[in-house]
Amino acid sequence: MTQKNQSLVSHTVERLLYILTEEQAFQPGERLPNEVKLASSLNVGRSTLREAIALLKEKGILESKKGSGTYLIDMNANRTTTIDAEKGTYKLRDIMELRLQLEPGAIALAVQRGDDAEIERIVETGEELCALIAESENRIECEQSFHRQIIEATKNELFENMIPMISCSIEDAITSKRSIGKLATDTAMDVMTMVETFRQKDALAAHHAMEIHLHHIVDALNLNCGKYKLY
């Protein structure tokens, strides 16, 4: 595939994602228009559309039923998702359960142990992340950096081993789900709350804020994690 074709396919994927996640033009389980109509509405060729649909199938957003057509997967159905982390393949549910158990404690340690320079970077990255969300810009790398900086501020090597899995789960949550709009709004509010806990050096509030943030992710992805909630 030429670079030009790759760019066109990527652009088509982005347009389809916007239609499916932001405009919510189709309901879970609903069949998409046939290939000719959909390609015409997107003003692309059928081969480009096929490649874009194939990529969305890989992400678990669309599925094809033989002899029937292409359907939007029911994103609210309980299902397991696997992602590739540094040392293996893990269920997203398992990673989120681990994050729920450990990351609230990690941010509390970061508030207590982080030096002035580390806290300043965390605050700046949090503010940048909120700005990207407000402008509907790609926030994956920034959100990964925000969580990585928090973990690094704990000065605990075992917590740092979590960084690859956290980064993978962040990317999966942002790119793979129908609830992307609400999740972005919740994330912006949660991040601003966490930023304020660093400013106030309030470890207990930071623990609570991270816990709420992680539950927002679990709820948005409808993962079958533990149902307890402490907020």
Q: Would you say residue 177 has pLDDT above 80?
A: no
**Which residues are within 8 A (CB) of 212 and not within 5 positions of it... i.e. 6 or more apart?**
190, 193, 231
**C-alpha to C-alpha distance for 79 and 230, rounded to whole angstroms:** 24
So what's the pLDDT on residue 67? Answer: 83
So what's the pLDDT on residue 152? Answer: 97
8 A C-beta contact, residue 151 and residue 110: yes
**C-alpha to C-alpha distance for 98 and 18, rounded to whole angstroms:** 31
228 vs 211, residue with greater confidence: 211
154 vs 84, residue with greater confidence: 154
Domain spans of the chain, in order of start: 3-72, 82-221
Which of 59-63, 120-124, 204-208 has the least mean pLDDT? 59-63
So what's the pLDDT on residue 115? Answer: 96
Which of 80-89, 103-112, 131-140, 143-152 has the least mean pLDDT? 80-89
Q: Which CATH class is domain 3-72?
A: mainly alpha
Q: Would you say residue 24 has pLDDT above 90?
A: no
**Tens digits of residue pLDDT in 62-114:** 888 888 889 887 654 444 555 555 556 678 888 999 999 999 999 999 999 99
So what's the pLDDT on residue 130? Answer: 96
**C-alpha to C-alpha distance for 224 and 76, rounded to whole angstroms:** 11
**Which pTM was predicted?**
0.65
Mean pLDDT value across residues 10-34: 81
Fold assignment, 82-221: Four Helix Bundle (Hemerythrin (Met), subunit A) (1.20.120)
Give CA 197 to chain center in angstroms: 23
Does this chain's domain 3-72 share its CATH topology with 82-221?
no
So what's the pLDDT on residue 66? Answer: 83
Percent of the chain surpassing pLDDT 90:
48
What does the mean pLDDT of the chain come to? 85
So what's the pLDDT on residue 78? Answer: 43
Residue 77's nearest CA partner among 228, 223, 225 is 223
191 vs 15, residue with greater confidence: 191
Q: Would you say residue 181 has pLDDT above 90?
A: no
* Residue recorded with tokens 């939007």: 72
